[in-house]
Each structure stands twice: as C-alpha cells, then as structure tokens.
Amino acid sequence: MHEWQYSERARKLTSSAIREILKVTERPEVISFAGGLPSPATFPVEQMRAAAERVLTDTPQAALQYSATEGFAPLREWVARRYSRDGLALSPDNVLITTGSQQGLDLIGKIFIDEGSRVLVEAPSYLGALQSFSLFSPVYVPVPTDVHGLLPDALTPELVSGARFLYAMPNFQNPTGRRLPMARREALAALARRDGLVIIEDDPYGELDYEGQRLPSIMSLAPERVLYMGSFSKVLAPGLRLGFIIAPPAVIAKLVQAKQAADLHTPSLTQRIAYEVVRDGFLDTHIPSIRTLYAAQAQAMLAALEKHMPAGTTWTTPAGGMFIWLTLPAGIDTMQLLEKAIEQNVAFVPGAPFYVGTPQANTLRLSFVTVPPEKIEAGVGRLGALVAQTLERRAA
C-alpha cells in the first residue's frame, strides 16, 4: 500500500475546533451556542428570489459566464460609495470582491507572509484567521487585550519592528464581542502612520451595532496603511460567499494576482444577485431588523447568565455582534467542561483555540443569535449547573 506524499504545508493542516464541535451539534436535541452562524430568520429570501429572477431574465449569459478577477464592476462601485465616509474618498480601484472574507484572509496571507514572518494578533483572536495565516508558517506575536479590546500601548517599537502586519477585529470581536474605543482606534492609526505598520481591519460585525452608533474605521484614520475587510455574510446571507477587501490600488493589484491563481474570480451569479438586492438601499431597512433581533437575543442570554452562573464567573456585555465571552473561575478547563456539556445536550466553544500564546483555559465563547430565548434559558441553566458542580467537586 503506497503512502500519499503530502506537502509539508498539508501535513501542518488541522481541522477547525469549531467545525469539529458543529458536527456534534447537528443533533436536534443539542442546544448549541457554538456556531458563529447568522440567524436564518434574517435571510432576505424573497428579495434574493426576485433578484435571481431579474438577473437570469435580464443578463443570463453574463451572469453565467467568467468575469473579471476584481469583481462585478457595479458591486465594486457600490462598496466604494458605501465606505466613502469619515473623510474617505474611495474608488472601485480600492475594492476587490472575494469569495467570502475567508478567502480575503487567505489572499492576505499569501501576499504578506513568508515562513517565519512575524504577525501580530490580538489575544484572543479570530480562529478562522489564525487557521488561514498558519498555512504560511508565520511566527505569531500575541498583543495583550483588556475588557475594551486590544491595548495600543502594548505595541512597543520592539514588538512592531519587522512585523508584516497587525490583524485586528475592532468591532464586536470574534470571540469576545468587544468593541475598540475611539481613542484606541486613533492610537493604532497614529502608530501605523508613524511606524509604517500595516493593519488588517477585519469588520464582519460592524453593521450589527444594536444602537446603530457606528464608530469610524481605522481605515478612515490611516487609509494608506490599512487593509479593510468586509462581508455580506452577516447582513445578507453566508451562502452567497461574498466578501471584499478595501486597500490602496497597488495592494489590490497584488491581491488580484493571488486571486487569479486561486479561483480566477468570485462567482458572477452571486455577485450580480447581491448587487440587485443592495443597489437601491435595501440594507438601510434590513440591517436595523437584524440589530433588533440580535439585541433581544443578547439580552436574553445576559439575563440567563446573571441568573444561572455561579459566583466568580464574568462575561462581556456586547453592544453589538453575535458573541459573549465567559471567564470561569480559575482552574476550570473548558475543553474538559465541553465533554460534560455535550452529554447534557448543550454546546459552546472553548476559549483555548483562540489563543496563539499561552491559552486562558478557563474561557469560552457563546453565540446567541440562532437560539430562541426559551432555549437560551435552558441551555445556560444546564451550563451554569455544570460549572457549579465542577466547583463543588474541586472544593470537596
């Protein structure tokens, strides 16, 4: 029997911890707080159906044909107009449409990371980004955070020197749900301008501010040193697999070359359907309905946590997005806790996989947007009881 001779890169591949957990949570009896999935109740099915019919009636050949690597021109123009705010004046030359924001991460890794390159990431950071960048064998440097997110003061000249980029998610971060305050955004932008640090600003959740109080992007403060990543997955539907990168034209040109080698272009059909949906201001009425739903779900979970979690447990209070981050009493390993939780038909994501340095093993992520309030109450109740039982066994 001959062995498959995989590349060194392939041998380093690992499965996503979240994806492995999701396999278990497909059982209908499991109350799952694990997946970072948008609520299907927010998908604009009728608008999509009508848009698809228009596209396949008016421009069927073009929609089903190969197209430009940069993306469907009207959609790029729409992105440029929508993000020309806070003093920014963008053009389509600043925009690349990607096959989901996950492809954006892969392309960024390809053009910036060599083996051994230093990459700065928040501690904790988005697991999907870590998994993507790891293919290129960087040396990760964790940047400390607090209850408000990344600490700009921790980015000393020694830390920044030689780093290819800082990867950050300033709005309702996955996994913590934290939003970076304005003063810290300004500090990061000033550092990027002064020291030449490249910042990757990943912003899939920025539109999901429950109060609609948007903060200016880091890109708007230092456009010459920031690559901004956006997504249609959380405001339309993830099945479209549509994201985008906004960057200086020279960087877009290099990303285009990498994308040509990856998939030639993002599907023409989904780009045109998405454009038909958003072109006349649909998101301005649709996104507020998502915010209202998610705010209610978040409040239900916060109330359940207050009711059921034992003393010594703390959690974030998100003002937007899809996640709450729990820190349990010291000494509890949430990887071990997950096994017992699944036996009780409740699931979450342990915090350890979100760290590149020493993990904080007593942390976990909860997602609330796909679970109705009565199941949130039941699931958090089971989880709280498990934490209490674990503490009792340790005390005995």
3 state SS for the chain = CCCCCCCHHHHCCCCCHHHHHHHHHCCCCCEECCCCCCCHHHCCHHHHHHHHHHHHHHCHHHHCCCCCCCCCHHHHHHHHHHCCCCCCCCCHHHEEEECHHHHHHHHHHHHHCCCCCEEEEECCCCHHHHHHHHCCCCEEEEECEECCEECHHHCCHHHHCCEEEEEECCCCCCCCCCCCCHHHHHHHHHHHHHHCCCEEEECCCHHHECCCCCCCCHHHHCCCCEEEEEECCCCCCHHHCCEEEECCHHHHHHHHHHHHHHCCCCCHHHHHHHHHHHCCCHHHHHHHHHHHHHHHHHHHHHHHHHHHCCCCCEECCCCECCEEEEECCCCCCHHHHHHHHHHCCEECEECHHHCCCCCCCCEEEEECCCCCHHHHHHHHHHHHHHHHHHHHHHHC
Q: Tell me the torsion sign for CA atoms 274, 128, 369, 175.
A: negative
Instruction: Read off the tokens for 379.
Output: 């699931």
295 and 378 inside one domain = yes
What is the average pLDDT across 50-73?
98
275 and 298 inside one domain = no
95 and 242 inside one domain = yes
pLDDT for position 1: 72
**Per-residue pLDDT at 396 exceeds 80:** no
Name 166's bridge partners: 120, 199
pTM assigned to the model: 0.95
Instruction: Read off the tokens for 113.
Output: 């990371």
288 and 273 inside one domain = no
At position 34, the amino acid (one-letter code) is: A
Question: pLDDT tens across 78-114, in order?
Answer: 999 999 999 999 999 999 999 999 999 999 999 999 9
Cα dihedral: 131, 136, 140, 143 (round 10): -70
Neighbours of 174 (CB within 10 A): 23
Question: pLDDT tens across 178-197, in order?
Answer: 999 999 999 999 999 999 99
pLDDT for position 142: 97
271 and 288 inside one domain = no
Are the CB atoms for 246 and 83 separated by under 8 Å?
yes
147 and 18 inside one domain = no
Closest CA to 274 of 44, 45, 51: 51
Supply the range of the domain harboring residue 28.
Answer: 8-32+284-395
Is 2 inside a domain boundary?
Answer: no
Are the CB atoms for 218 and 26 separated by under 8 Å?
no
pLDDT for position 267: 98
276 and 292 inside one domain = no
172 and 288 inside one domain = no
178 and 275 inside one domain = yes
Is 302 inside a domain boundary?
Answer: yes
* Strand 363-367 versus strand 323-327 pairing type: antiparallel
Return the residue matching tokens 């703390």: 314
Neighbours of 201 (CB within 10 A): 25
Is 141 inside a domain boundary?
Answer: yes
Is 319 inside a domain boundary?
Answer: yes
The total number of structural domains that make up the chain: 2
260 and 307 inside one domain = no
Question: pLDDT tens across 321-359, in order?
Answer: 999 999 999 999 999 999 999 999 999 999 999 999 899
* pLDDT over 70, % of the chain: 97
222 and 300 inside one domain = no
Q: Calculate ∠ Cα 189-193-197, nearest 5°.
A: 85
Give the domain CATH number at 17: 3.90.1150.10
Question: pLDDT tens across 371-388, in order?
Answer: 999 999 999 999 999 999
Q: Which of 220, 245, 280 is the last residue of a domain?
A: 280
Q: What is the Cα–Cα distance from 376 to 371, expressed in whole angstroms? A: 6
Neighbours of 182 (CB within 10 A): 11
pLDDT for position 238: 97
Is 55 inside a domain boundary?
Answer: no
State the greatest distance between any 2 C-alpha atoms of the chain, in Å, as a whole number.
72
Closest CA to 200 of 250, 246, 146, 261: 246
Buried b (16+ CB within 10 A) or exposed e, 232-249: bbbbbbbebbbbbbbbee
Q: Which of 215, 245, 280 is the last residue of a domain?
A: 280
Q: Tell me the torsion sign for CA atoms 310, 313, 314, 315.
A: negative
**Per-residue pLDDT at 320 exceeds 70:** yes
Give the domain CATH number at 154: 3.40.640.10
Is 152 inside a domain boundary?
Answer: yes
Question: pLDDT tens across 119-163, in order?
Answer: 999 999 999 999 999 999 999 999 999 999 999 999 999 999 999
Quick one: pLDDT band at residue 228, thresholds 50, 70, 90? very high
Arithmetic mean of pLDDT over the chain: 95
Q: What is the Cα–Cα distance from 179 to 171, expressed in whole angstroms? A: 5
Instruction: Read off the tokens for 368.
Output: 């609330």
Is 12 inside a domain boundary?
Answer: yes
220 and 293 inside one domain = no
pLDDT for position 25: 67
Quick one: pLDDT band at residue 212, thresholds 50, 70, 90? confident
Q: Which of 280, 303, 322 is the last residue of a domain?
A: 280
Is 340 inside a domain boundary?
Answer: yes
Q: What is the Cα–Cα distance from 138 to 130, expressed in whole angstroms? A: 10
Judged by average pLDDT, the poorest of 14-18, 48-52, 56-60 is: 14-18
Q: What is the Cα–Cα distance from 211 to 182, expressed in whole angstroms? A: 16
Q: What is the Cα–Cα distance from 270 to 52, expressed in whole angstroms? A: 9
Question: pLDDT tens across 4-46, in order?
Answer: 988 888 887 777 666 666 676 677 889 999 988 999 999 999 9
